[in-house]
Homo-oligomer: A and B are copies of this chain.
Amino acid sequence: MGRWQPDAAGRLAQAALELFAERGFEQTTVSDIASRAGLTERTFFRHFADKREVLFSGQSALKDALVSAIASAPDSAAPIAAVATALESVAAFFEENRDRARNRQAIISANPELRERDLIKLASLATSMADALRERGVPEPAASLAAEAGMAVFRIAFDRWVTDDGRPDLPGIIRESLGQMHAVTATAG
Contact = CB atoms under 8 A, between A and B. Distances in A.
Interface size class, chain A: 20 to 34
A157 to B, nearest CB: 8
**Copy total for this chain:** 2
Contacts of A184: 79-80, 142, 145-146, 149
A101 interface: no
A132 to B, nearest CB: 15
A100 interface: no
Nearest to A143: B184
A185 B187 contact: no
A188 interface: yes
A145 B177 contact: yes
Interface in A67-108: 78-81, 84
Contacts of A179: 187
B160 A153 contact: no
A3 interface: no
Most buried by B among A123, A146, A160, A184: A184
A116 interface: yes
Interface of A: 78-81, 84, 116, 119-120, 123, 141-142, 144-146, 148-149, 152-153, 155-156, 160, 177-182, 184-188
